[in-house]
Amino acid sequence: MNKKEKALQIINVFDKLYPEAYCSLEYKNPLELLLSTQMAAQCTDARVNIVAKNLYCKYKTAQDFANADIIELQEDIRSTGFYRNKAKNIIACCKLLVEKYNGKVPGTMEELLELPGVGRKTANLVLYEIYGVQGIIVDTHAKRLSNRIGLTKNDDPEKIEYDLQKIVPKSSWAEFCHKLVSHGREVCKARKPECESCEIRQFCLYYSKH
């Protein structure tokens, strides 16, 4: 079985296991998704959602964030970790949104990648969730599972993105990544994967070696 065939078999199983897999970050508009995804780096979505409730009541627009006091913003997002760098990027990102895009979140990969704190994972998630553009969203779960299963040998998220693009049907790109997240949280956990209860173990390189 080649990687493309393996991916299709896994998609079939995931479609039954996780028919409603979705982005677990809570947001009401494109700006909230953009900033929450930045805050989610090295942090759980659940923690970001808790922080976001108060944050987006305090700062409602890109202009609000652009004008924020950096020390105050650091305290507002402290519990997400790496808060100094995240606060710096959020302010810089929103300043550019105000200056170049009238406070709106742009809709192309090239434009999104120009924004401070925005990498390909964030850009792909925003493009799919807001603009309906399919993309491979490589977060920590997608990276871990893709390697364990044997869909890639790469550790670099961008290389993993391109590897998955070759073997996963384009119409399933983002949904497949959301389902990898669900499976990573429920079964294929970082410290101790629950292989015996895993319904894709027959396709998994990790399981075949352990």
User: Tokens 């909230």 belong to which residue?
Assistant: 32
Please name the amino acid found at residue 36: S
pLDDT given for residue 210 in this prediction: 84
Which CATH code, of 2.40.110.10, 1.10.1670.10, 1.10.357.10, 1.10.10.60, is assigned to 3-22+136-209?
Answer: 1.10.1670.10
Does residue 180 carry a pLDDT above 90?
Answer: yes
Confidence of residue 179 (pLDDT cuts 50, 70, 90): very high
Assigned token pair, 183: 């499976």
Task: Provide the residue ranges of all domains of the chain, joining segments of one domain with +.
Answer: 3-22+136-209, 30-131
Instruction: Return the structure tokens found at 132.
Output: 């309906």
Per-residue pLDDT reduced to its tens digit, 76-100: 999 999 999 999 999 999 999 999 9
Q: Compute the residue count for the chain.
A: 210
Q: What is the average pLDDT across 108-124? A: 98
With bands split at pLDDT 50, 70 and 90, how would you rate the model's confidence at 75? very high
The pLDDT, as a whole number, for residue 32 is 98
Identify the pLDDT of residue 35. 98
Q: How far apart are CA 102 and CA 118, in angstroms?
A: 18
The one-letter amino acid code at 67 reads N
Mean pLDDT of the chain: 97
- Smallest CA-to-CA distance from 139 within 25, 28, 53 is with 25
User: What's the rounded Cα separation, in Å, for the pair 178 and 121?
Assistant: 12
Coil, strand or helix: which one is 11?
helix
Average pLDDT over residues 6-20: 97
**Closest by alpha carbon to 125, among 51, 30, 56?**
30
The predicted model scores a pTM of: 0.95
Q: What confidence score (pLDDT) does residue 115 get? A: 98
Q: Which residues are catalytic?
A: 121, 139
Contacts 24+ apart (CB under 8 A), 145-148: 145/180, 145/183, 145/184, 145/188, 146/180, 148/188, 148/193, 148/204, 148/205, 148/206
Burial of 121 (0-12, 13-18, 19+ CB in 10 A): buried
Q: 20 CB contacts (<8 Å, ≥6 apart)?
A: none
Tens of pLDDT, residues 123-177? 999 999 999 999 999 999 999 999 999 999 999 999 999 999 999 999 999 999 9
Q: For the residues 30-38, what does the mean pLDDT come to?
A: 98
Topology annotation, domain 30-131:
Endonuclease III; domain 1 (1.10.340)
